[in-house]
Structure 1
Amino acid sequence: MLRCSINSTKRLAARTSTGASQLAVKATAAAGFSSQSGRHVQLKNASASSTIRQYSTRSTVIQLLNNIGSKREVEQYLKYFTSVSSQQFAVIKVGGAIITQHLDELASCLAFLYHVGLYPIVLHGTGPQINELLEAEGVEPQYEDGIRITDEKTMTVVRKCFLEQNLKLVTRLEEMGVHARPITAGVFSASYLDQDKYKLVGKINGVNKSPIEASIQAGALPILTSLAETPSGQILNVNADVAAGELARVFEPLKIVYLNEKGGIINGNTGEKISVINLDEEFEDLMKESWVKYGTKLKIKEIRDLLMHLPRSSSVAIINVDDLQKELFTDSGAGTLIRRGYRLLTRNSLAEFSEPELLRRALQRDPQIVSGNTSVASYLRELETSTFKSYGDEPLEVLAIVKDATPATGNVAVLDKFLASKAGWLNNVSDNIFTAVKKDYSSLQWVVREDDANANWYFAKADGSYNKHGHILYWFGVEDPKAVTELIANFEAKYSKVPKTAQATEDFSSVFQVKQQTRTFSTKSKFGVRSFSTSARAFDAANTNLPRREGTNSQKSRVALIGARGYTGQNLISMINEHPYLELSHVSSRELEGQRLEGYTKAEIIYSNLQFEDIKKLEERNEVDMWVMALPNGVCKPFVEAIETANGAKKSKIIDLSADYRFDTTGEWTYGLPELTSREAISQARKISNPGCYATGAQVAIKPLVPYIGGGVPSIFGVSGYSGAGTKPSPKNDIKFLSNNLIPYSLTDHIHEREISVQLGTEVAFSPHVAQWFQGISHTINIPLKEPLTSRDIRNIYQETYQDEQLIQVSGEAPLVKDISGKHGVVVGGFAVNSKQNRVVVVATIDNLLKGAATQCLQNINLALGYGEYEGIPDDVEIRG
């Protein structure tokens, strides 16, 4: 019998009545191209720059993608696909019949991908029409063991057909505004499979990546034929499926897609399309099925052999051309998804976890633990005294913990934790785990926060739900209305007493994070969904993979900036000017005293030169809500003492941008790097030390690998633009001296070296340099590894760590400093692993004036004053590759 995903995992729920291929045609039309009569129609505004046109086209395509999936899904998959280098996105094998019969649909789908910046490697066959052409030439097709015998006359026709099909597809793509490049030779090298038996049929023994990489580098989709060559130049015919597999072995793409007419593998017993096959869990049982024979059995075996040579994150999709977007960009998918997966394991005690560290790592995804409201140790102690059953794949990408039913839970079992990594969601492990849970429990209840990004997914798994107090109670298998009433009563009793500010810390199910919504009570029946509610469901606002750290404060706050002359001060002033709640009350600069503050439009502000007594009086009169110290190192302390010694309630808060309090041991100062330290601690702190620019970029780049460091210390080669040297004249900000130059300085014991080491809890070596550009930092970091890891493994670790961070992006390629200048975040990428797999090179870029200083300061201000964390901060960081 087939296991969970074949029997009951369904990724085929219709999202929209509009077909994906129709949307693709709309996208190409919106981009300014017409498909009528094969004519290429230019945009009306021909003078618009290509950059604006590309941005507009991408935005239009993404909007159309939202019609086949939620915004969360589209953003999630785009981020996932662009996290690797361009050539590692996907290999798509196209049957020749599709080019002949569905050319427009195929070209539109490929145009869709192209316009969102994705470059699949497309390889096509010749299709069934080849037999007609052979017969027209008087050649009778001959086969041996299912392989076409290809003599010289047959090869002449085959090659001609390949070239015609290739040109047809490339031409259609170009008509749709897609830059495509025909690659009909020079990729596959081969030897004769059996020259006497099959004639000019080849066995691939090498793949030349250069033509493909050059095409993508030039911004063109590579369109390949499955023709190979011997070392002497003889053209050989090779199986297109085999050729696609060889490409996949070399490029290790996230997706290998086979486009066929059936759109997937059909279960011979039920007649239904199989949604997911997890080979590690299901292969042996699948091979025993009576309907798995002949070509189907061979296809599954070949795919298994291919995936065994690829990272586990790779998968094969067999789909119809009309469903390409739905398969790639939605959780439900469309065809048959085949992946290695892992065997699913169940455990009934902590002692059964052979690798406790994996369990601890999985529990660290729990929002309650991330926020600091509870700890892994305390939850494990709770499990020791509980009766539970856990479900998970081998690496615990998804962990579910179900506690047994008790009278206190209405005699219905409780899904206490459901913790999935990004890879767990993207690879449908979450579906498999939930299906396994549902097999064992005829009834179940669980609670999620209201703004959870996956609320739609949970609703689809439930028979009913009840929404109130910022949380949603879900259940299935509870038919008795009295039992449902008891569940709701227990839920009400628990959550009606919880203050809104404390709801995030409650742990009835503590499974997820979420956002307020109107009251809803709904159930499902065989006749559909019956809803008892005063308003419709409104999950769309939660469909994002970014954290919704909404603020509780809507009152104006007054900011006093001490040391406003420098670059950081000027950037912060500009951001406060755009902030809906912050207002400058004072700006202090000895050099600019008496001058008008330029660029601030909320009020007329005159620079002052605040003395310690002035600061003391302002604090006593409660005229400042937030003090920001933008002063050189070693200068801040007297100003802080003036605030601290003032009479009164001391309602204000302080942020210091210097290094003076980054090594505080008194507990009075909180280190303010929100992505790596506790946001809860920052929000409750009165005094916050803003991290250094170099230190922020380096910590973000190293932190996810701290548990894996061994055999040495990370070495950081940091290069900053000269704005990092401040406004006081020196060789490090002398443009003439920097021209065609790179200045190393403070090569040992730099203060940022100490800061990084202290915060990470591991020693690092840091060598800073100044370059001739104005702003932006590039870090190249060598990290020794204590255990072998692949580049893909490491990238997955970073993606999981930062998947919910708006200001941190993970790229498959090394980021460039020119792309981060003027942007408000950090980009981490590269992940180059040496041949011994004991060292990785990670590259990080950050704008030293923004996320390295002013932007981070504003994050801390927002958290400390109760505003949304990203209030006033543009989400403008995009990744390359």
Structure 2
Amino acid sequence: MLRSSLASQKRRLTRVSNNAVKTSLFTPKPTAFKLKNATASHALPTTLARSYSTRSTVIQLLNNIGSKREVEQYLKYFTSVSSQQFAVIKVGGAIITQNLDELASCLAFLYHVGLYPIVLHGTGPQINELLEAEGVEPAYEDGIRITDEKTMAVVRKCFLEQNLKLVTRLEKMGVPARPITAGVFSADYLEKDKYKLVGKIQGVNKSPIEASIQAGALPILTSLAETPSGQILNVNADVAAGELARVFEPLKIVYLNEKGGIINGNTGEKISAINLDEEFDGLMKESWVKYGTKLKIKEIRDLLMHLPRSSSVAIINVDDLQKELFTDSGAGTLIRRGYRLLTRNSLAEFSEPELLRKALQRDPEIQAGKLSVASYLRELESSSFKSYGDEPLEVLAIVKNATEKTANVPVLDKFLASKAGWLNNVSDNIFTAVKKDFDSLQWVVREDDPNANWYFSKSDGSYNKNGYILFWFGVNNSKAVSELIANFDAKYSRIPKQSQESSSVFKSQQQVRAFSTFRRTSLTTVGIRSYSTQIKDNAPKREGTNKSVSKVALIGARGFTGQNLIKMIDNHPYLELSHVSSRELEGTKLEGYTKKEIIYDNLQFEDIKRLEERNEVDIWVMALPNGVCKPFVEAIESAKSSKSKIIDLSADYRFDTTGEWTYGLPELASREAISNAKKISNPGCYATGAQVAIKPLVPYISGVPSIFGVSGYSGAGTKPSPKNDIKNLSNNLIPYSLTDHIHEREISSQLGTEVAFSPHVAQWFQGISHTINIPLKEPLTSRDIRNLYQETYQDEQLIQVSGEAPLVRDISGKHGVVVGGFAVNAKQDRVVVVATIDNLLKGAATQCLQNINLALGYGEYEGIPDDTVIRG
């Protein structure tokens, strides 16, 4: 299982913590659980109001790590138990030395959302340094430090210093913390003759920890123990953390270390999750599981066997603490007991029918009364299926085998998970088991399913209609995909469209624990939304004055851009297609256009001239390959009275020097010039994203910005080539035209500064990611640069400025550009900016529609779906 890490977390947490000190964000407060019933900060006493406000601020910051759903879900989960049962966090000694600010920031975050972890730290590296400084060689036996009286003096000094260092850092951030360096662990000698002053814990005194939490302070512990007579003994910090966990039975036991998890010795990759009941025996047989790794896994298993199944162990890097705790995707290695997964091929194999009935009652169709459990069970009796589930059926998946009626693709008929199943990621285990058995699969969920984003992450493609979403994976044949969609359309076209106002799909971004990287294709312009449906409140509405219907002729309608533009014109209140031209599709019906029946033409020079002379077209759109457009433009202009306007989506006229063509990038060019232009050259997809990402910094540039661009394979068009061959792209990244690409010239000419551009194509379907290095001629901070971008684009509805580097998976199906990152190097002479854009939408079809609207006098955003307009 692979889980994504948050590479920029360290920078952001450090930045937040530093800013917090300056703005008094982290102010002292009483126990945060008293704020649960507060409804408005102005109704609270001053201290409580400040605390409530602080908690809200921190939750907003957490929302940048995961979705609002995830954050609220996990907060509710963690606050469902007493304060001391939230988490035990064991901190490696090296982290206090090397990552003190990051650690303190993480703990401050938890404190300000009302969570009180029990923190226990080690101090191994510091002890070794002090011993070496005094000329003492550290001695170990069976991995245990031999602690004589001289070593114990160093150990005790080190523990006290490191404990005070962490407590002091927290207090400076306004987070109450209590040093607890003794009085918790009672112990006997492990083996006095062999290990000297090393202890074996016999008991844990909870009182000092509980008193600290009741006083509203984080307890910060060392792993020193005492004998009944008062002799201090050294105890391994991992062992001490385990003993704390046995006493408090927390939801989480967290081990913070530098590696950030357990590494698979064969692949070199971090293991995302281990389900002990299912995987322990197999892991112990792996050749790379030996020595310390084997001991660690065994110790964790022994610990979890004595804790509730809801408890889990996480081994992570300090930078990823929030991500591990508050997102489904996690960050390091998650270890839990889990349950063994069972498969069944008939109803008779379910030993507890009531568990099956209980699981089926989670189905939305059954809950809505559209289907009864009994009738579905009867349906299963006559079906060929395979079911997957854990022992208590917290998650149940039922896959019906492929038939001709299902386009010979198996159907995931039910995927039903309880809240515990989602929280404990049993759902991921089940889905992985399904994928092992089935090379291809299709399934349908409601658009308002709160876990719809999770299903997106598991799919290769999706298509939505009337409030339902069809997903599939492993279906790489376009004919098979078309058949799936046709069957889906036939079933759901008569179902009234669900209201999307309450749809969480279009309101939040959800990350998941993923077992593999995925490629998402989409045959719809509306995908999962990461942004609110509202547009910027203060942005100019740019409403047009034209309310009459205009006719659009589309030349080259077969490609992906043409298809997306057709869909938006179909939903436009004032535009109608009059003609679509495609040599290959001549004579066939245009599918998906509902305003009237359109048959593909193969328009020739004389046909175009005749249509122009009869004023049958108001605007021509050329969706043709580069170098093909000129004859069509000449045909239009040869008409006796040429009144229509022209938009060219190719690169043929982007370098026009005659003044006849206007470059149509509304956010950076003159909207007035576009409105008055007769001929408009639509910018390239790569070029649009790069220009938006670089433009605000042009006055500050020193040298040549370098652009590393990666596009989904839809950017390679529909004509078969190695760049859109799914098999060739699988687990691959293909560089091409590494110098002198036409977009390099386009970006340079429009910005007025030379750039270096290297394009690549990857295995996803649509969406571009740019990573851009920009040399600076004067020092600028990350905050300065972000403010500059926010000011530049504050009125632009289709450009979002983010503090974090945007992800390409979140832009697919969106109609704008997201710019973020703004990472400045230590010398402050270089900034890295990241931009994402959907190459088929804002990179082509959406931008074309903006230009059509401006050229014909409509509102600039007419016909662009509101549910995918980016919000600032």
Does the C-alpha gap of structure 1 residues 400 and 529 become closer, same or farther in structure 2, counting only changes over 3 Å? closer
2:141, 2:413 → 1: CA distance? Answer: 59
Aligned to 2:860: none
Q: What are the residue-to-residue correspondences of 1:345-494 with 2, within 5 Å?
A: 345-494=342-491
* Deviation (angstroms), 1:539: 5.7
2:149, 2:17 → 1: CA distance? Answer: 44
3-state DSSP of counterpart to 2:416: strand
1:456, 1:272 → 2: CA distance? Answer: 25
Does the 8 Å contact 2:96/2:166 carry over to 1?
yes
3-state DSSP of counterpart to 1:373: coil
Q: What is the aligned-residue RMSD (CA, Å)?
A: 2.7
1:487, 1:305 → 2: CA distance? Answer: 48
* Deviation (angstroms), 1:245: 0.2
Amino acid at match of 1:177: G
Amino acid at match of 2:2: K
Aligned to 1:78: 75
* Deviation (angstroms), 1:127: 2.5
Does the 8 Å contact 1:470/1:517 carry over to 2?
no
* Deviation (angstroms), 1:139: 3.1
Does the 8 Å contact 2:252/2:313 carry over to 1?
yes
Does the 8 Å contact 1:331/1:428 carry over to 2?
yes
Amino acid at match of 2:447: E
2:13, 2:101 → 1: CA distance? Answer: 12
1:81, 1:184 → 2: CA distance? Answer: 27
Q: What are the residue-to-residue correspondences of 1:453-852 with 2, within 5 Å?
A: 453-500=450-497, 529-535=520-526, 537-538=528-529
Aligned to 1:94: 91
Aligned to 2:213: 216
Does the 8 Å contact 2:86/2:250 carry over to 1?
yes
3-state DSSP of counterpart to 1:141: coil
* Paired residue total: 511
2:532, 2:7 → 1: CA distance? Answer: 22
The worse-fitting range, judged by mean Cα deviation, of 236-245 and 133-142 is 133-142
Amino acid at match of 2:3: R
2:505, 2:420 → 1: CA distance? Answer: 27
Does the C-alpha gap of structure 1 residues 27 and 39 become closer, same or farther in structure 2, counting only changes over 3 Å? closer
1:516, 1:336 → 2: CA distance? Answer: 28
1:381, 1:143 → 2: CA distance? Answer: 66
Cα offsets for 1:202-260 (capped at 9, x unmatched): 00010011111111111111000000011111111101000000000011101000001
Does the C-alpha gap of structure 1 residues 527 and 349 become closer, same or farther in structure 2, counting only changes over 3 Å? closer
* Deviation (angstroms), 1:28: 6.5
Amino acid at match of 2:411: V
Amino acid at match of 2:249: E
* Deviation (angstroms), 1:529: 4.6
Aligned to 2:704: none
1:257 pairs with 2:251: no
Does the 8 Å contact 2:449/2:505 carry over to 1?
no
3-state DSSP of counterpart to 2:408: coil
Cα offsets for 1:575-606 (capped at 9, x unmatched): xxxxxxxxxxxxxxxxxxxxxxxxxxxxxxxx
- Gap runs ≥5 in structure 1: 1-8, 505-512, 519-524, 543-881
Does the 8 Å contact 1:122/1:224 carry over to 2?
yes
Does the 8 Å contact 1:20/1:68 carry over to 2?
no
1:135, 1:485 → 2: CA distance? Answer: 70
2:13 paired residue among 15, 18, 23: 23
2:148, 2:296 → 1: CA distance? Answer: 26
1:541, 1:348 → 2: CA distance? Answer: 43
1:299, 1:19 → 2: CA distance? Answer: 27
1:427, 1:31 → 2: CA distance? Answer: 35
1:254, 1:62 → 2: CA distance? Answer: 20
1:536, 1:418 → 2: CA distance? Answer: 21
1:328, 1:121 → 2: CA distance? Answer: 15
The worse-fitting range, judged by mean Cα deviation, of 381-390 and 526-535 is 526-535
2:18, 2:54 → 1: CA distance? Answer: 8
3-state DSSP of counterpart to 2:398: strand
* Deviation (angstroms), 1:371: 2.7
1:10 pairs with 2:10: no
- Gap runs ≥5 in structure 2: 29-41, 508-515, 534-872
1:285 paired residue among 272, 276, 282: 282
Does the 8 Å contact 2:453/2:505 carry over to 1?
no
1:130 pairs with 2:101: no
* Deviation (angstroms), 1:357: 1.7
* Deviation (angstroms), 1:309: 0.7
1:300 paired residue among 283, 297, 301: 297
2:181, 2:97 → 1: CA distance? Answer: 18
* Deviation (angstroms), 1:353: 0.8
Cα offsets for 1:690-749 (capped at 9, x unmatched): xxxxxxxxxxxxxxxxxxxxxxxxxxxxxxxxxxxxxxxxxxxxxxxxxxxxxxxxxxxx
* Deviation (angstroms), 1:183: 0.5
Does the 8 Å contact 1:20/1:324 carry over to 2?
no
Aligned to 2:272: 275
Does the 8 Å contact 1:200/1:236 carry over to 2?
yes
* Deviation (angstroms), 1:406: 1.3
3-state DSSP of counterpart to 2:124: coil
Does the C-alpha gap of structure 1 residues 378 and 533 become closer, same or farther in structure 2, counting only changes over 3 Å? closer
* Deviation (angstroms), 1:532: 4.1
2:105 paired residue among 105, 108, 112: 108
2:171, 2:247 → 1: CA distance? Answer: 27
* Deviation (angstroms), 1:150: 1.0
Aligned to 1:247: 244
Does the 8 Å contact 2:89/2:254 carry over to 1?
yes
3-state DSSP of counterpart to 1:181: strand
Does the C-alpha gap of structure 1 residues 442 and 470 become closer, same or farther in structure 2, counting only changes over 3 Å? same
Give me the identity figure in percent.
81
The worse-fitting range, judged by mean Cα deviation, of 529-538 and 98-107 is 529-538
Cα offsets for 1:434-471 (capped at 9, x unmatched): 01101111111100111111111111100100011111
Amino acid at match of 2:490: A
Does the C-alpha gap of structure 1 residues 266 and 527 become closer, same or farther in structure 2, counting only changes over 3 Å? closer
3-state DSSP of counterpart to 2:339: coil
TM-score, with structure 2 as normaliser? 0.56
Does the 8 Å contact 1:27/1:64 carry over to 2?
no
Does the 8 Å contact 2:254/2:316 carry over to 1?
yes
